[in-house]
Amino acid sequence: MRIQPRQHILDIWRAVLATSYQDGTWVWGGRDESNSISDAEQLLCILYPATTIENLALDRPDTIADDVRTALKPLGDSNRIPRVIIDVLGDYIDRYSDENGEPVFTGGCYLRREASGTQSPATAEQLELDIVDAYSMSVTLCLAALGFINVYKPVVQRRSELRRKVAEIESSTNRRLTAAMLGLLRSFVVNTAEPEDPSGRAMLHMMNTAGVSERIVIQELRNSLSRVRARLRDDVRIGVGSDVALDNDNLLFECGWAWGIADNAARIDFVSEDFQQRSGVAEARPYLYFTVVALDGINDLLSPRTRELGLLNEEQRRLAEALQIRWDLTQRYWSTVARFGGQAWPLENIPWQTSDGKESDYYSLLVSSVLVQDLVNRRATDDDLTRAVWVFEELARRGRITSRVTKNDPAVALHTPGVQMTLNGSEQLGPQIYWSAADFAPLLLKRTLQAAKLSANVTARDRLMVVAEATMDHLARRRLREGPGAGLWDDPVEVLFSAGGSADSRPSWYLTERVIEGLVTAASTYEETPLRTTHMVDNALELLSEADHLLNQEILQADANDRSELNTGLLEIEATLTRARKILNERPSSASALAMEALRKLDELTVARIDAARSI
């Protein structure tokens, strides 16, 4: 199906309000019990596109589009809509601040007691553990909220009570943003391993696609990652434990984000004293899922919008600089290992195996996500993109997006219950707990669209859009059709279970918010200038050259004093060719179409003259 981000988002907004806004009150929660991550996802379903897509903005009441106002009619008129958003945001901030005003970033029911996905309760101490997903989601939410407030504040200058409320919410949102950035900084880890250790052997097994000796692989890895290692050793000191042995070049290493505050995390000494910096328990080993989640949050921090609106204060800018270094080095690291070697990429050797020996197609998608983001930030080669296209196509096939589900298909588990990850270190405070990642389809949608936006190759972009549209079709078939969550996600029964069954009719904000992210990416992709090649420009120029020449012949033969329909037609053709030349470099195919239209009209004039000559 064709991806129509604006229409899809408006439909989702209607469904969100039907579920969440009842009798003038915002109702938190859905399929999962209310928690700091799920509630942020629920609010972001509205706030993220409203602060990212200009023609869906809600922060200027007098410019809200008619179809947007209609979709959000349950909130009231255009003046009331932003006020309700402010009230809901304030409610969220209050819900997830403790009695001392300290922001809370716990995962609640998203933490599983059993690997099978059952929701047996964790201990009280475990429920108080901060999760990187909560940090990242809060960064995105707080930046969206601060951008919204930044534009909305001038509107309320004459209303003292509303102005005071907005100022209070802005202050508490800023505090939450700082705390989230601090948490991300202290969750960044570097893990080193001896080549003979199990984790070291797993890394080498993944890298050695050519089957050469391990000594050669280690040497090539050392050379490829030497700059990343040097910068990690010299520039990344804030928040990282002092026991990381990067000085030893014989050790393998990996970097990224743990699932929470690392057990060796150091204190950050340049933030306000009143911010808690609790000791962490998370194993100091990168998790691909939480690494990608953290990178997405930091990407919002570094966006042009954040910079243009001046959303960060001095303390936050210093935290952002430290996070940017980690963001850049992490992308460089995973992009390098994904494309390591002279022939086959490790990324092409699906599924990806992590350093703890776990392997999954989902991990390949996560590594692809980092690779695409890295390619966005530097000049990508045609070869890089073409090979990445094959990876996405293969993952879509293996994930049963573009191929049929078979009986007892193990690929179904990618979508439900999702890939289970052991949160190592959590067992210090009770039973082992787990995290489930079930966003394979929306993540594939988002990353293929990002790659399509990046691609300068018409064929590669077309293949990526085919995958993206097939993924959107897959997701559309998984929308809830009845019950309180109708129009939202997720009902996988029709698509993934041939035996049938019934799904929970309540919405999953986890999946719905990630579909929203994909649609926002689609809107961003469509806003780009259409692809153009030298061949397309040359072809348009050839058509324009012929049309110009024929037009000059017609003008030469026309009566200069005659203001007849013939001369008027020549003026229209001239205007058409002028427009074609104006858009030639940006839209060569459109220029070709205009040139062909001019050629058609010129040919009609030629035929008319021939017929007139025959009749004499």
Average of pLDDT values for 587-600? Answer: 90
Asked whether 96 and 104 are in contact (CB, 8 A), the reply is yes
Given pLDDT bands bounded at 50, 70 and 90, which one contains residue 616?
Answer: low
Look at residue 566 in the predicted model and tell me its pLDDT: 64
Determine if residue 483 is left, alpha or beta; phi over 0 gives left, psi from -120 to 50 gives alpha, anything else beta. Answer: left
> For residues 199 and 417, what is the distance between their CA atoms, to the nearest angstrom?
27
Asked whether 342 and 374 are in contact (CB, 8 A), the reply is no
- Of 232-236, 454-458, 527-531, 574-578, the poorest mean pLDDT is in 527-531
Look at residue 120 in the predicted model and tell me its pLDDT: 53
Residues in the chain, overall count: 616
Average of pLDDT values for 495-518? Answer: 86
Average of pLDDT values for 534-550? Answer: 86
- Alpha-helical runs (H) found in 558-587: 565-582
DSSP string for 370-415: HHHHHHHTS---HHHHHHHHHHHHHHHHHTTSSSPPPTT-GGGGGT
Look at residue 370 in the predicted model and tell me its pLDDT: 94
User: Which pair of structure tokens corresponds to residue 514?
Assistant: 């990630």
Q: What phi, psi does 196 have (nearest 5°)?
A: -85, -15
> For residues 14 and 21, what is the distance between their CA atoms, to the nearest angstrom?
10
Asked whether 373 and 442 are in contact (CB, 8 A), the reply is no
User: Which pair of structure tokens corresponds to residue 584?
Assistant: 């030639």
> For residues 317 and 312, what is the distance between their CA atoms, to the nearest angstrom?
6
pTM: 0.88
CA 595 to chain centre: 39
DSSP string for 548-559: HHHHHHHHHHS-
Q: At which residue do the structure tokens 């019990």 appear? A: 33
> For residues 600 and 581, what is the distance between their CA atoms, to the nearest angstrom?
17
Look at residue 585 in the predicted model and tell me its pLDDT: 83
User: Cis link prior to 286 (omega < 30° from 0)?
Assistant: no
Round the average pLDDT of the chain to a whole number and report it.
89
> For residues 58 and 79, what is the distance between their CA atoms, to the nearest angstrom?
10
- Alpha-helical runs (H) found in 128-187: 132-152, 160-187
> Using N-to-C axis directions, what is the helix angle for 226-235 and 314-338, rounded to 10°?
160
Q: How many other C-beta atoms can be found within 10 angstroms of the C-beta atom of residue 6?
A: 18
Given pLDDT bands bounded at 50, 70 and 90, which one contains residue 562?
Answer: low
Q: Which residues pair with 25 in a beta bridge?
A: 22
Per-residue pLDDT for 243 more than 80?
A: no
Average of pLDDT values for 348-367? Answer: 95
User: Which pair of structure tokens corresponds to residue 424?
Assistant: 């190592």
How confident is the model over 34-74, as pLDDT tens digits? 999 999 999 999 999 999 999 999 999 999 999 999 999 99
- Of 112-126, 266-280, 421-435, 498-512, the poorest mean pLDDT is in 112-126
Per-residue pLDDT for 380 more than 80?
A: no
Look at residue 565 in the predicted model and tell me its pLDDT: 58
CA 462 to chain centre: 20
Look at residue 281 in the predicted model and tell me its pLDDT: 93
Look at residue 122 in the predicted model and tell me its pLDDT: 76
Look at residue 488 in the predicted model and tell me its pLDDT: 96
Look at residue 498 in the predicted model and tell me its pLDDT: 67
> For residues 412 and 574, what is the distance between their CA atoms, to the nearest angstrom?
59
How confident is the model over 419-478, as pLDDT tens digits? 999 999 999 998 899 999 999 999 999 999 999 888 777 888 899 999 999 999 999 999
Average of pLDDT values for 591-599? Answer: 91
H or E element that contains 193: strand 188-193
Which DSSP category does 63 fall into? G
Look at residue 274 in the predicted model and tell me its pLDDT: 73
Which is higher by pLDDT, 330 or 159? 330
Look at residue 190 in the predicted model and tell me its pLDDT: 93
- Of 29-33, 445-449, 497-501, 605-609, the poorest mean pLDDT is in 497-501
User: Which pair of structure tokens corresponds to residue 278?
Assistant: 């609790």
User: What per-residue string of b and e applies to 274-295 under the rule 16 or more CB within 10 Å gives b?
Assistant: eeebeebbbbbbbbbbbbbbbb
Which is higher by pLDDT, 22 or 612? 22
Percent of the chain residues topping a pLDDT of 70? 93
Look at residue 25 in the predicted model and tell me its pLDDT: 95
Per-residue pLDDT for 532 more than 80?
A: no
DSSP string for 208-219: -TT---HHHHHH
Look at residue 151 in the predicted model and tell me its pLDDT: 93
> For residues 258 and 289, what is the distance between their CA atoms, to the nearest angstrom?
9
Percent of the chain residues topping a pLDDT of 90? 64
Given pLDDT bands bounded at 50, 70 and 90, which one contains residue 117?
Answer: very low
Amino acid residing at 592 = S
Q: What phi, psi does 474 have (nearest 5°)?
A: -60, -45
Helix (H, G, I), strand (E, B) or coil at 437: strand
Q: Which residues have CB under 8 Å from 382's CB, separation 6+?
A: 456, 457, 460
Q: Where are the beta strands (DSSP E) in 234-380?
A: 252-257, 352-353, 359-360
Look at residue 101 in the predicted model and tell me its pLDDT: 86
| Closest of 314, 267, 277, 319 to residue 297, by C-alpha | 319
Contacts 24+ apart (CB under 8 A), 194-198: 194/250, 194/251, 194/252, 195/250, 195/251, 195/252, 198/357
Which is higher by pLDDT, 68 or 503? 68
How confident is the model over 171-201, as pLDDT tens digits? 999 999 999 999 999 999 999 999 999 999 9
- Alpha-helical runs (H) found in 32-159: 36-52, 66-71, 80-95, 124-127, 132-152
Q: How many other C-beta atoms can be found within 10 angstroms of the C-beta atom of residue 205?
A: 15
Per-residue pLDDT for 104 more than 70?
A: yes
Look at residue 536 in the predicted model and tell me its pLDDT: 80
Per-residue pLDDT for 564 more than 70?
A: no
Look at residue 241 in the predicted model and tell me its pLDDT: 54
Q: Which residues have CB under 8 Å from 53's CB, separation 6+?
A: 5, 6, 9, 520, 523
Asked whether 200 and 194 are in contact (CB, 8 A), the reply is yes
CA 136 to chain centre: 12
> For residues 371 and 451, what is the distance between their CA atoms, to the nearest angstrom?
10
User: What per-residue string of b and e applies to 550-560 under the rule 16 or more CB within 10 Å gives b?
Assistant: bbeebeeeeee
Helix (H, G, I), strand (E, B) or coil at 276: coil
C-alpha dihedral (384, 389, 390, 395), degrees to nearest 10:
120
> For residues 349 and 509, what is the distance between their CA atoms, to the nearest angstrom?
33
